[in-house]
Amino acid sequence: MATMKNAATGLARFRPLLLVVLLFFVAFINYFDRQSLSVVAPRFQAELHMSDLDYAHVVSLFLLASAIAYALAGFLSDWLGTRRSMALFVSVWSLAEAATAFATSTLSLSAARFCLGLGEPGLWVAAPKAVGEVLTERMRALAIGIYSLGSSLGAVVALPAIVFLTSHLPWRSVFLIDGVAGLLWIPLWLWGFRSREAAGGIGRAGRPDDARVAASSIAPNLRAVLARATTWKLVAARGLTDPVWYFYLFWFPKYLMTSRSLTIDGVAHFAWFVYLGAGIGAVTGGLFAGLLIRRGMRVCIAYRWTMLVAAVMLPVSPLTAIVSNSTLAILIASIIAFAHMNWLVTLTAIVVELYPAPQVGTAAGLIASGSGLGGMISSEVIGAIVTHHGYTPLFFLMGVLHPCVLAFLWTLFEQKSGPKVDVQPHLPA
């Protein structure tokens, strides 16, 4: 009995690390799946006779589904609990990714990517909710940064990996491999989170971890979240700044191949550096905010300073289009990606701090829906601008969005959330 008790205690101590590792890998899979279409887009366009505007419509449908899914994912994660809702989200997007391999028309491709958009956003709602339940406030921003690094590395690895796979296998098989990888992750998640749930851990609000919110509490929580001006400010912030990242996910490889005349092999060899910069930015944001907090700065003010550092880097964006050297352009783009992911991780972390625990899932989902809506609108705008004016105006626009939004959000960081009880993850006696 003593041996089993010691083993259970050891496993409980390991659970926070296990959580971060699982989230890192599923974020990696999430962005590998998301990046796969942009890498093979020229082949899809040629085979299905799609124009750049057609491609923009496909991306827009994905982002429309994302906006819908973000709004619903908060309710699902609060109602089903983090463990079950995460398994549901990953199942949906993995099956949709696999279905992309069988697309034979623009319509069927759009349908598959729409379903992908219905599943993928749930990760970004359930993951911060899980972090808020398990980790202390000093570690939350870093944990979010680490699993966000997984998403950036997924985008990094996608470029050379897809080029390698398509040189040895039919190029459509990439989507099947992606889908299977997600489905294989689900049993690991169910096992990892079941052990926490069975241990009866207490989350940061003093309630059982992964406990489902009663159906009767969903409507009051929704009303409370919608009534806060903070919610709408954060929705606007995501809608205005997340399109920068969507551009680098869905359009930048195409930009390099069309405007910079790089081959797909050249993109695979060099463009990954942009997504590596994004990953470093994700971790750096968490580390910097954590350092400020450890030195005594209030959490939300530490987040504000972290976002300020990111915002002052973005005005170099126009140089990406101006410089003649493609390598230098990619280096500047990596700075933009670094700064944006630093910003995004911090903007995500602040939701956990500003809302009481029962409202975090609902708030995170509604706020993240701004990302999908902003991305959907921006995709149509990008398609039109690229068709008629090229890419240069886009890089100028991306240089001013973050500083303007930060000025809009400046006083928000001085607000305080409702009462919380922040406790260490429960260890069984």
* Model pLDDT for residues 93-152, shown as the tens digit of each residue: 999 999 999 988 889 999 999 999 999 888 887 887 777 777 766 677 778 778 877 877
Phi/psi for 346 (5° steps) reads -70, -40
Cα dihedral 55, 59, 60, 66, rounded to 10, equals 170
- Entry pTM: 0.71
pLDDT tens for each residue of 256-265: 888 888 887 7
Q: What is the enclosing helix (H) or strand (E) of 98?
A: helix 82-100
Q: Topology of 21-200+216-414 in CATH?
A: Growth Hormone; Chain: A; (1.20.1250)
- If you write DSSP's letter for every residue of 204-257 in order, what string do you get? TTSSBTTPPPPHHHHHHHHHHHHH-HHHHHHHHHHHHHHHHHHHHHHTHHHHHH
The token duo for 420 is: 């919380």
Q: Which residue has the higher pLDDT, 148 or 399?
A: 399
Nearest by Cα to 206 from 140, 137, 136, 133: 133
Q: In which residue are the tokens 């997340």 written?
A: 242
Q: How confident is the model at residue 395 (pLDDT cuts 50, 70, 90)?
A: very high
Grouping H, G, I as helix, E, B as strand and the rest as coil, residue 202 is: strand
Q: What is the dihedral of CA 255, 256, 258, 260, to 10 degrees?
A: 120
